Amino acid sequence: MQERNNGLLALVGSWLGLGGAERAEAEEVEPLGVTWMLLPPYDIPGMAVVSGLLVENQGAEDEQDVYISLTFSGERFITHMEVLSDDPYDLSGGTPRDSHLTLLLPRLRAGKKVVIYVAGHSPQTPEVTVAVQYKPSTT
């Protein structure tokens, strides 16, 4: 039983930063860069279902030409949309009755984020594309 308790204490110690080797190793992990997460839908009864997408640059460096695309399938479409961004962006689509929107950020600074809120009549799970150093096709 003592061995099991020592193992548990070592695990808790590493979570608290008390395990020297494990902590040093964790500090050398590369930053994540640009990450994204779908926000859960929130139903406002009789009005709309609101959901969203959070895109964040968790890296140590600025990222260039960040492309974000949301596409809704079937008969689902956007009724309202709001973008909150720490950096300037260009928006295409996203108007009422659209089923697609695209954002292009020339630069997403390190530690900064963009949140896209979308409302519709029913829960919507879009197809999401997030790309860094995006170059549009010339064909």
- 139 residues of the chain, pLDDT tens digit each: 444 444 433 333 333 444 444 444 445 545 579 999 999 999 999 889 999 999 999 999 999 999 999 998 877 788 899 999 999 999 998 888 888 999 999 999 999 999 999 998 888 788 999 999 877 776 6
**Cα-Cα-Cα-Cα dihedral sign, residues 39, 40, 43, 49:** positive
- Residue 14 CA to residue 90 CA, distance in Å, equals 44
- pLDDT for the residue 74: 74
Domains within the chain, CATH numbers bracketed: 1-30 (no CATH), 34-131 (2.60.40.1170)
- pLDDT for the residue 128: 94
Provide the whole-model pTM.
0.73
3 state SS for the chain: CHHHHHHHHHHHHHHCCCCHHHHHHHHCCCCCCEEEEEEEEEEECCCEEEEEEEEEECCCCCEEEEEEEEECCCCCCCCEEEEEECCCCEEEECCCCCCEEEEEEEEECCCCEEEEEEEECCCCCCEEEEECCCCCCCC
- pLDDT for the residue 123: 82
- pLDDT for the residue 138: 66
